[in-house]
């Protein structure tokens, strides 16, 4: 069978999947600090910083990639557009993860946030995993939209609770919970956006 020359090499997809794995690692480590502030140490802080540094470097390299001099114009355009989209989404996930880490550090001596924040974090991390799997295993991403909708609904319920003043949080705690919910929800959205773009890249290879 003739192989379509417009279908990107496997390493294009693996690179995007690896970036999502890096983003998951960084967010997971920042979330661990948030969930267990009393266990915070220089080692945990360094682990978050290290994961974020690796993520940002990879995302910046990808987003700044220009056309290769020896590549076919049509094929290279697809690569440049993909690198731009993926790099920007992953870079934004890095910024959001840094916010999570900063709040975790600031709250190390504060009361735990509501369980709904932790549940939102867990759902977002699961969805980032699912987006990764959808890239490496085409056809496995059918549930991404439903999961993303569920995260949006969970964030909406949390916001309603905060706005109604029905929770037990003080002002600082409520603001932290609101920011964290936005960070986790947007990380999930960005991860799904990466998976969707890679799926579109595969689909348009046959156009």
Scanning the chain, the segments in alpha helix (DSSP H) are 10-35, 42-63, 73-106, 115-136, 144-164, 171-204
Would you say residue 1 lies in a domain?
A: no
Would you say residue 22 lies in a domain?
A: yes
Count other Cβ atoms within 10 Å, centred on residue 39. 11
Would you say residue 185 lies in a domain?
A: yes
pTM for this model (two decimals): 0.85
pLDDT of residue 38: 57
Would you say residue 17 lies in a domain?
A: yes
Model pLDDT for residues 39-78, shown as the tens digit of each residue: 555 666 777 777 778 887 877 777 666 555 454 455 578 8
pLDDT band at 195; cut points 50, 70, 90 = very high
Contact assessment for residue 28 and residue 93, using Cβ atoms and an 8 Å cutoff:
no
Would you say residue 4 lies in a domain?
A: no
Q: Which range of residues forms the domain containing residue 99?
A: 10-204
Contact assessment for residue 184 and residue 151, using Cβ atoms and an 8 Å cutoff:
yes
Model pLDDT for residues 101-131, shown as the tens digit of each residue: 899 888 888 888 889 999 999 999 999 999 9
Domain count, the chain: 1
What CATH number is attached to the domain comprising 90? 1.20.58.220
Contact assessment for residue 193 and residue 89, using Cβ atoms and an 8 Å cutoff:
yes
Model pLDDT for residues 130-181, shown as the tens digit of each residue: 999 999 987 766 789 999 999 999 999 999 999 998 767 899 999 999 999 9
């Amino acid at each position: 069978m003739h192989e379509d020359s417009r279908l990107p090499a496997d390493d294009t997809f693996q690179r995007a999947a690896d970036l999502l794995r890096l983003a998951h690692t960084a967010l997971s480590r920042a979330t661990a600090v948030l969930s267990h502030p009393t266990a915070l140490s220089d080692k945990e802080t360094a682990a978050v910083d290290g994961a974020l540094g690796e993520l940002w470097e990879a995302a910046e390299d990808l987003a700044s990639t220009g056309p290769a001099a020896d590549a076919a114009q049509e094929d290279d355009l697809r690569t440049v557009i993909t690198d731009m989209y993926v790099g920007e989404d992953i870079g934004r996930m890095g910024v959001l993860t840094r916010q999570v880490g900063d709040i975790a550090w600031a709250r190390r001596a504060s009361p735990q946030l509501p369980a709904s924040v932790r549940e939102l974090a867990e759902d977002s991390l699961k969805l980032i995993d699912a987006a990764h799997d959808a890239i490496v295993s085409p056809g496995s991403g059918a549930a991404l939209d439903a999961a993303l909708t569920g995260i949006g609904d969970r964030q909406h319920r949390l916001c309603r609770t905060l706005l109604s003043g029905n929770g037990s949080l003080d002002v600082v705690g409520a603001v932290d919970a609101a920011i964290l919910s936005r960070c986790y929800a947007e990380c999930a959205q960005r991860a799904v956006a990466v998976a969707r773009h890679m799926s579109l890249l595969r689909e348009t290879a046959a156009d």
